[in-house]
Amino acid sequence: MMDASILDFGTGITKIGIGGDADPLHVFRTTVTDGSVQGKEDQVPMKNGNVSNWDAMELIYTRSFELLGEDSTKRPALLSIPPMGSKLDRETSAKVLFEKVGIPSLVMVNNAELSLYQSGQSTGLVVNLGHGTTYVAPIWEHNIFSHAITHGGVTGSDIDNFLSALLNSNENAHQVTVEEARSIKESGACYVSQDFDDELNKDRTEIDLSYELPDGREILIGRERFLSCEALFNPEYIDKDSPPIHKLICDTVSRCDINIRRNLYSNIHIVGGQSLSIGLIERLQKEIQKKVPQSVEVVINAAENRDYAAWVGGSVFSQLSTFKNMLVTKADYEEKGISVLQNTCGV
Ligand SMILES: Nc1ncnc2c1ncn2[C@@H]1O[C@H](COP(=O)(O)OP(=O)(O)OP(=O)(O)O)[C@@H](O)[C@H]1O
Ligand SMILES: [Mg+2]
């Protein structure tokens, strides 16, 4: 059997490649640009883990298989599915992959389960901080506890919007777009403070940073550097009716059996691009530790390439001896419909 195509279409970033590889072959924005129409805005086909524009999303699928090469349509495919993904999206994905792209077989696996495969562990608490989804999912012996998943926290894209608004309300002479705010954030100019009040009391000369935008304009960034990321822990700053990330974690653990809670706290796996923020792991550790008894050990595992965790996990998953048997063939799908692709692998 040919190695599978591993497909992780994230709200912000698409990661695609071949099973068995250590890294995805292609990583690109989940954005459709119509270069032929001048001044036309980019189309963003996904929002909060769900597809909001299937016409645009189909172009992302087509582009992905073009990038993976001619042979790729003959490979089986593993599709990563967000824990809160809609049934309609799963149906449409299968339709596009089987009927338009023409792949021979497919398996859909929960994004959280895949992320844990990156670590090689079978039990753990997966915390995803992505561009459009922030969720916490407990996994026990490879089984996801769907009833205990929590989501709805501040996401990477919320932080971009917030940072852009903050920068536009300070003394900068230039307007900073959301896209520019995103690159400022990703450059490492922003960080998570260890003590928010201490950071606010620091002298501005310790904080202020001059930043050069891609077009050469200079802007001054001050407290926005840590105020932006603070929204993860204090969502009220962006007026968002969502819980802080440490609260989501504690809520999820408390929905699990009392006998496994300690184990989950000592096996936290943080994944997703937004978790690369400087200072985030240390601050999260502190905030969780404040909410649990002293005797509970809080251990946060953070792999270096955790922004690709679901993809890497998918690559590992596709090499398991059981993988072949999980694949649903096109003939099976045509005979039995979408139901054959569901109710397995946490989907
Ligand atoms: N070095 C960095 N520091 C902070 N944030 C970063 C960094 N690099 C990437 N990000 C942010 O991570 C997010 C992308 O992460 P990821 O690829 O995990 O999301 P996604 O898979 O596209 O979305 P989702 O899983 O929510 O559907 C973006 O918001 C991006 O700005
Ligand atoms: Mg993702």
Q: What is the pLDDT of residues 289-300, one digit of tens each?
A: 999 999 999 999
CATH code for the domain in which residue 104 is found: 3.30.420.40
**Residue 346, domain member (yes or no):** no
Dist. CA 190 → ligand 1 center (Å): 14
Among the residue ranges 104-113, 167-176, 184-193, 314-323, the one predicted with the least confidence is 167-176
In testing the pocket of ligand 1, which one of 26, 161, 186, 225 has its CB within 8 Å of the most ligand atoms? 186
Looking at the structure, do residues 150 and 160 belong to the same domain, yes or no?
A: no
Put simply, whether the predicted model's pTM sits higher than 0.85 gets the answer yes
Number of domains forming the structure of the chain: 3
* Calpha distance 292→58 (Å, rounded): 45
Looking at the structure, do residues 284 and 138 belong to the same domain, yes or no?
A: yes
Instruction: Please name the residues in contact with 184: beta carbons below 8 A apart, sequence gap of 6 or more.
Output: 163, 167, 176, 190, 211, 221
Return the closest-CA partner of residue 342 out of 107, 164, 184, 104. Answer: 107
Looking at the structure, do residues 9 and 105 belong to the same domain, yes or no?
A: yes
Dist. CA 105 → ligand 2 center (Å): 23
Q: Which atom of ligand 1 is nearest to the CA of 133?
A: 26
pLDDT surpassing 70 at residue 36: no
Protein residues placing their CB within 5 Å of the ion ligand 2: 10, 130
Looking at the structure, do residues 56 and 121 belong to the same domain, yes or no?
A: no
Looking at the structure, do residues 199 and 273 belong to the same domain, yes or no?
A: no
Give the range of the structural domain holding residue 257, as residue numbers without chain letter.
Answer: 117-154+242-306
Return the closest-CA partner of residue 60 out of 26, 101, 32. Answer: 32
* Calpha distance 39→31 (Å, rounded): 15
Of the listed ligands, the closest to the CA of 306 is: 1
**Residue 347, domain member (yes or no):** no
For range 266-276, the mean pLDDT:
98
Dist. CA 332 → ligand 2 center (Å): 29
Burial of 241: CB neighbours in 10 Å, binned 0-12, 13-18, 19+: exposed
**pLDDT tens-digit profile of 241-268?**
899 999 999 999 999 999 999 999 999 9
Instruction: Output the ligand 1 site: residues, CB below 6 A.
Output: 10-13, 49, 82, 130-133, 156-157, 182, 185-186, 272-274, 276-277, 307
Looking at the structure, do residues 129 and 185 belong to the same domain, yes or no?
A: no
Looking at the structure, do residues 212 and 282 belong to the same domain, yes or no?
A: no
**pLDDT tens-digit profile of 177-223?**
999 999 999 999 999 999 999 999 999 999 999 999 888 889 999 99
Where residue 322 falls among pLDDT bands split at 50, 70, 90? very high
Of the listed ligands, the closest to the CA of 30 is: 1
- The CB density around residue 212, as the number of other CB atoms within 10 Å, is 10
Residue 177's φ and ψ, nearest 5 degrees, are -75, 165
Looking at the structure, do residues 85 and 51 belong to the same domain, yes or no?
A: yes
- The CB density around residue 202, as the number of other CB atoms within 10 Å, is 12
Residue 167's φ and ψ, nearest 5 degrees, are -70, -30
Dist. CA 11 → ligand 1 center (Å): 9
**Residue 237, domain member (yes or no):** no
